Structure 1
């Protein structure tokens, strides 16, 4: 395996908005043009590079070096990451409502693309990144991160809103509910919910349901070597296996059997949906 990856849970106060903190060492053997396909997980990834070398990402159909501090928006299709040397990072994985509730920034600003975090989040964020790089241990990095995020969250306190409730409900049900069932738990009209969800996150509630269901599938696949695809398709709410395969291919870029055989070519980061 050419990747080393570790995850750390956020504090209780931040857990509604932050899925995880993580460290990653990519391209451990310094291969030239080491490429990984990333399966979308319905989250926003904040990547802080700790080394001079960065990964490369595609933007406007061209490969380019990612920013020093990269903010990767919600994705509905797989995307590729390329490495030319070993790259070390510290990352923060946000639920989509996390960026909005902590920084006051709607994720729709950078859906299906990536941006320089400094341009989106400002000078205070650059100062935080400088402190983070100077921290010697992962415990220090997490403590600095928690202090920074809690301070920003207090600065951008948001009233409870229906879009947040809808996204939390979708995750709670692993995406396995209809729009009608969702509206029964979120007192807002289907049309208004779809409009507000799209305006805030840049994707529809139905698209977020599909991403959440794919996460449930990814979690199952990571937890066992022997995957019964027929059983899995029914357990995750698909009417038949062909529907399951079609949906999986659209979101992961290949069919489930090929994916299982070539796991090392994919960077899969399934999130905690509970």
Structure 2
């Protein structure tokens, strides 16, 4: 990102949490000017802790997204967050997020013991929230689900529902029932989002052609536009760094 008024940091989770946590990150707008952003679907569930000059400290859970969202990063806003993989919803939170697709849920005050004072040093936040995740984690004994998620993430959404069903010996109908009731969308939709996310790296490098099991160039352009709101070439240009998820890749 080229915007000196915006600080963005991201780190990988501890190895023991990698099946459940995608990343931990922080975002801060130091300026007195609001920043317009577009948030695109990336297949993650985000737990936010944030505050600004106009909003008190609060915690919020964001569900899966299936469409791009225009949002504004208010002046003097501080956000510390954890991005989770799907198994976390069942084995850390033990909830369903089917009712907050493209939405959020405000969490009770004092959630996980995180306070406003924890949003000062990123490293300290990461350690405290990682310890809390370990306390809440109960590992799955469902080998079908373990294998299913391993295949989904390792293939970056490239495997079809039929292929996944065959490899885990679990009917596609049962898998989709599980996905809809727990996460709010069918497996195919989720895999399409992961495949879209995997294309970020190539688009950031100016490779505006399909590399992740898209049928053809037309299909690639259609999917990118459906999930980002713009064509691949416009996503690559990323005017005003409004696509934060893409800006974070080009900053590295």
TM-score band, normalised by shorter chain:
0.7 to 0.9
**1:216 aligned residue (193, 198, 208):** 198
Give the match for residue 43 of structure 1: 44
Give the match for residue 114 of structure 1: 104
CA distance in 2, matches of 1:192, 1:4: 43
Give the match for residue 32 of structure 2: 30
CA distance in 1, matches of 2:151, 2:58: 34
Once the two structures are superposed, residues 77-101 of structure 1 have per-residue CA deviations (whole angstroms, 9 ceiling, x without a partner) of 0112213312111100001221221
Aligned pair count? 245
1:52-201 to 2 correspondence within 5 Å? 52-54=53-55, 68-118=58-108, 126=111, 128-130=113-115, 133-134=117-118, 137-154=121-138, 157-160=139-142, 162-201=144-183
What are the ranges of 5 or more consecutive residues in structure 1 without an aligned counterpart? Answer: 55-65
CA 1:72 to 1:29, structure 2 compared with 1: closer, same or farther past 3 Å? same
The answer as to whether partners of 1:41 and 1:270 remain within 8 angstroms in 2 is no
TM-score (norm 2): 0.87
The answer as to whether partners of 1:21 and 1:93 remain within 8 angstroms in 2 is yes
RMSD: 2.5
What are the ranges of 5 or more consecutive residues in structure 2 without an aligned counterpart? Answer: none
The answer as to whether partners of 2:60 and 2:107 remain within 8 angstroms in 1 is yes
TM-score (norm 1): 0.81
Superposed displacement of residue 115, structure 1: 0.9
Once the two structures are superposed, residues 57-112 of structure 1 have per-residue CA deviations (whole angstroms, 9 ceiling, x without a partner) of xxxxxxxxx98212110001011221331211110000122122112112224222
Give the match for residue 228 of structure 2: 252
Once the two structures are superposed, residues 154-208 of structure 1 have per-residue CA deviations (whole angstroms, 9 ceiling, x without a partner) of 4xx4432534532331121111121221112211111111111211111111011
Superposed displacement of residue 258, structure 1: 1.4
